[in-house]
Amino acid sequence: MMKSTPPADERTIRCPRLGHQISFSFCRYENRGLPCFKTLDCWHAHFPIEAHLRAELTPEDWDKSFNRPLKPKMTSLLELIEQAKKVKKQEM
């Protein structure tokens, strides 16, 4: 039987995005105070994560975290390159 409360920080799992062990508290606030978009996938086997977050988040925050369309990897990379170019120009 699964506990209905989030695991303590001593409990860690491997993050598929970062490639190392992390706690639930990191996943919960990783996205500018909102959960990482992968949180549901990563923690569902450890406790009832969806019920916990639906009770904790506003409908708007739920949508921001889990219902936003993901950008293709190439689009994200191009945006990061453009941001880096702008920063470099500002530093000159």
Q: In angstroms, rounded to a whole number, what is the distance separating the alpha carbons of residues 67 and 69? A: 6
The 10s digit of each residue's pLDDT in 34-43 is: 999 999 999 9
Residue 37 lies in a domain: yes
Q: For the residues 82-86, what does the mean pLDDT come to?
A: 89
Domain carrying residue 62: 12-91
Residue 34 lies in a domain: yes
How far, in Å, are 35, 52, 53, 71 from residue 63 at the CA level?
11, 15, 12, 16
| pTM metric for this prediction | 0.68
Residue 3 lies in a domain: no
Residue 6 lies in a domain: no
Predicted confidence at residue 3, as pLDDT, reads: 67
- Write out the two tokens for 8: 């303590």
Residue 1 lies in a domain: no
Residue 64 lies in a domain: yes
Predicted confidence at residue 1, as pLDDT, reads: 57
* Tally of domains in the chain: 1
